[in-house]
Chain A
Amino acid sequence: MNLSDLQWIGLCLALILLFSVWGKNNPRRALRSIPAFVQLRRTIELSVEDGSRLQISLGRGGVLGPESAAAFAGLTLLRQVAEIAADSDQPPIATTGDGAIMLLAQDTLRSSYQRLGISDQYHLRLAQATGLTPFSYAAGALPFILDRRVSASALAGSFGEEAGLLTAATQLSGGFSLGGSENLSGQSILFASADQPLIGEEIFATGAYMDAGPIHQASLRAQDVLRWSVILLLIITSLLPLFEGLP
């Protein structure tokens, strides 16, 4: 690791802390609207009212690589959805293609049920590993999506080409699909096939938009500042050669 990597980490950390302090003084600062989250919130409310089920796909990313960040964003979504809909007739169900993420999903749901005081309603089948290779995972998750009681499928995690099978099944069952992945081929497939795709870093905004806490909003603002800083740096460095010959 060189100093510039460290500087980026330090800058990001400082911005998160700065925005979390600033956020306490300005709690009502609005985030820009992302249609996917607006529609997801509406779907969650509707599913609680009409007793339908929400299916959260956490993808096939493990905990050891960079793909884990997308799976953690999916777990944040799972926690927030569970806090709203866990005591409904059809509680949300999570599917994954990785053993470690399955354990974390079970733990996340268990703690949400404990917080809501409905631990007796929790069972391990609410978070399942449906297959341990990309396409076997998708094939195993399809029966949950094609279940007529499922009104929405949220794909938040690491997905590749197999995401297309999951969104196609959601479309077939008449449900709403939202999809985000850190994987580029997964993103392009979700853009074409999901009702509401999350593009690029939008998947990491899940916590901020689903009210997971002020630190998520602070983190999102820090990401925005860093991203714009990188964009400006790229523009400046590409324009610099034009001015080299000037006195």
Chain B
Amino acid sequence: MNLRLRTPFSAAVAIAIGLIVLVSLLFPDFTDLRNRILNWAILLAAVALLLGFANLFQVHFQKMRHGEKPVYSLILLAGMLVTFIITFWEGSQGFTASWIFNSIQLPIETSLMAVLAISLTIAAARLFQQRKDLMSIVFLVTLFVLLLSSGPLFGIELPLFTRTIGPYVNNFLSVGALRGLLIGVSIGTLATGLRILLGADRPYGG
């Protein structure tokens, strides 16, 4: 099937499905149809996850074949296969599958989190060198204030920060800022959804 035929067809399917889901929110008669479509979507997302797994496998298999840091790819492929087979065999709550998750996956991700903490501290220190603007100053001052207000530092408590400024920043300023950001994000999300519904934005490659 060539692109000229495929593009209007996929756009028509996407728009029709989007309209059905939107209309079902107005008319309860369409609820069953909406649930069925959403179940299909969940199923397809699960299949896509498997395809993501297959893609990762293929990429590292090719890397291994071409000798691009083959040891890392070999370890990854072996880990993937062993985990997949064990989890497939005894389920995600099985003893070995849980052990793999708790003793390998979790510590590795926690280590990456620790690396992240260090790299973010360096990034915050470099921020003012990179961007000398008002927002950077506000960011660094807020960071400093929250650090001082987070608790006794070296055994010294600063009541002005821990009891007055810190709670004020946390409970009023940051909540207001978060709501402002969320309003912007939700309007952007709504506009993106409508563009897709209009067929003007086609993330499916049309």
Please report A residues at the B interface, Cβ cutoff 8 Å: 1, 6, 8-9, 12-13, 16, 62-64, 66, 69, 71-73, 75-76, 98-100, 102-104, 107-111, 114, 124-125, 128-136, 138-140, 143, 161-162, 164-165, 167-168, 171, 182, 184, 187, 189, 191-193, 195, 199-201, 203-205, 207, 212-213, 215-216, 219-220, 222-223, 226-227, 230
Contact = CB atoms under 8 A, between A and B. Distances in A.
B25 interface: yes
B189 A213 contact: no
A199 B182 CA distance: 11
Given A129-B56, A193-B120, 7 more contacts: A102-B52, A164-B116, A184-B182, A192-B123, A192-B124, A200-B180, A227-B183
A175 B116 CA distance: 19
Contacts of B116: 161-162, 164-165, 168
B144 interface: no
Contacts of A1: 25-26
Contacts of B187: 12, 201, 223, 226-227, 230
A61 to B, nearest CB: 11
B137 to A, nearest CB: 13
Nearest to A16: B194
Contact of B205 (A16, A104, A171): A104
Interface in B60-81: 62, 69
B153 to A, nearest CB: 21
Contacts of A66: 186, 189
A61 B10 CA distance: 22
Contacts of B189: 66, 69, 182, 204
Given A138-B112, A164-B119, A102 B201 contact: no
Interface string B107-124: 011001101100110111
Contacts of A230: 183, 187
B22 to A, nearest CB: 8
B197 to A, nearest CB: 8
A135 B109 contact: yes
A195 B130 contact: yes
Interface stretch (B39-47, B92-100, B155-163, B165-173): B39-47
Given A132-B49, A191-B139, A69 B42 contact: no
Contacts of A165: 112, 115-116, 119
A107 B202 CA distance: 10
A25 B52 CA distance: 45
A6 B22 CA distance: 10
A101 to B, nearest CB: 8
